[in-house]
Amino acid sequence: MSKKTRNKPLRNPNGFGSVYKLSGRRRRPWVAVVTTGWTEDGKQIRQIVGYFETKQKGLDALALHRISPVSPKIDLTLSELYAEWSESKFKNVSRYSVNNYKTSWSYIKEYEHVKFRELRTAHWQAVIDHAAGKGLGQSALKKIRTLISELNRYAMKNDIINKNYADYIELPKFEKKERERFSDLEVKKIEAAAASNPWASTVLILIYTGMRVGELLRLTRFNVNLDRRLITGGIKTEAGKNRVIPIHPKILKYVKAWYDKGGEALICREDGSGMHPDYYRKNYYYKALDAAGVRRLVPHACRHTFASLLAEAGTDPLYIQRILGHADYAFTANEYTHPELEALYEAIKKI
């Protein structure tokens, strides 16, 4: 072998990639690229593996890329990753869940232009701390953390990161508050207001069904059987889904009034459209309480009020659980005439 041949640099094997120097003054002027395919007109489709200070570091990166390929999505920003994740995610979840994700996104989008692979626990913790500082409760903070975790899992699936940094987020500790309920006098004030204020009637419906706000707002006319005086619906747990709730005589006319509006949701805006729980709370629920001269208790207080009224009336705890959806129990359409349904009717009539 001649000396000239021995000094000739070795060519990279086919498919290895190449490293070349960019023009201008740069901190990392060497770029490593690999060919990932070809266009219809025969042009190369190339993926940038990274930028490096020296040619050797670029070659080392190409060698590592052959063993553990760099994701073509490695440089996605948080906003780009969220858009890609949500495009498929939102097709498979309820509108209620979509709205929750979108609300949570509003708290993390401050990093929307940052490459996702650069985000760490400290960034996510700052999001939670900032949201907590704004007064968000434990439930809302958990929803934000859930979104962060899902985005991290999606990034892991696409080899953008190798660990879920959301696992290390710490939520602030909340003191467990005594559950509040509306007093009997307040319930009577809400009943009086409901006669002329349709939004006060929704508060009354919450009180006499024990439904969560999200459950009530997801109801459509198909969930209501006025002839049998039944509402079928529910979310959150298997026990709560599609449970049957007898319609109390005090709210029957109000349920019918909303039913007759013919909106896409049972409880709807003027144009017939539904709404997110946050919108309902802000624009209707608290204003209805103000108009009735009643304390601004959170909507979940209606659920506690309902449970308390049933308990005070001596209702069997089993029936309270079934109506609230806390037991492993749910009726189907074929069981509407089941003898135990009569027991639920009697339980409702006691309050």
Is 8 among the domain residues? no
What pTM, to 2 d.p., does this model score? 0.52
Is 173 among the domain residues? no
pLDDT of residue 72: 67
**Residue tagged 């070349």 (tokens):** 20
Q: In this predicted model, what pLDDT tens digit does every residue of 182-210 receive, in sequence order? A: 998 999 999 999 999 999 999 999 999 88
Burial 158-171 (b: 16+ CB within 10 A, else e): bebbeebbbeebee
E strand or H helix that includes residue 97:
helix 95-108
The CA distance from 276 to 100, in Å, is: 9
Q: Are residues 204 and 343 in the same domain?
A: yes
Domain of residue 41 covers 15-67
Q: Are residues 163 and 231 in the same domain?
A: no
Q: Report which of 308, 331, 97 is spatially closest to residue 228, judged by C-alpha positions.
A: 331
Is 102 among the domain residues? yes
Q: In this predicted model, what pLDDT tens digit does every residue of 271-312 receive, in sequence order? A: 999 999 989 999 999 999 999 999 999 998 998 888 888 877
Q: Are residues 132 and 58 in the same domain?
A: no
Q: Are residues 328 and 194 in the same domain?
A: yes
Q: Are residues 201 and 278 in the same domain?
A: yes
pLDDT of residue 69: 63
pLDDT tens-place values along the chain, 351 residues long = 555 545 555 566 666 788 888 888 888 888 888 787 778 887 877 777 777 889 888 888 778 767 666 566 778 899 999 999 999 899 888 887 898 999 999 999 999 999 998 999 999 999 999 999 988 888 899 999 999 999 999 999 888 888 999 999 999 987 666 678 899 899 999 999 999 999 999 999 999 988 889 889 999 999 999 999 988 876 544 434 557 888 999 999 999 999 999 999 999 999 999 999 989 999 999 999 999 999 999 998 998 888 888 877 776 666 666 666 644 433 322 333 333 456 566 666 667
Q: What CATH number is associated with residue 291? A: 1.10.443.10
Neighbours of 130 (CB within 10 A): 13
Is 176 among the domain residues? no
| Structure token digits, residue 93 | 């979840």
Integer Rg of the chain from CA: 29
Q: In this predicted model, what pLDDT tens digit does every residue of 67-98 receive, in sequence order? A: 666 566 778 899 999 999 999 899 888 887 89
CB 291 within 8 A of CB 205: no
Is 32 among the domain residues? yes
CB 119 within 8 A of CB 152: no
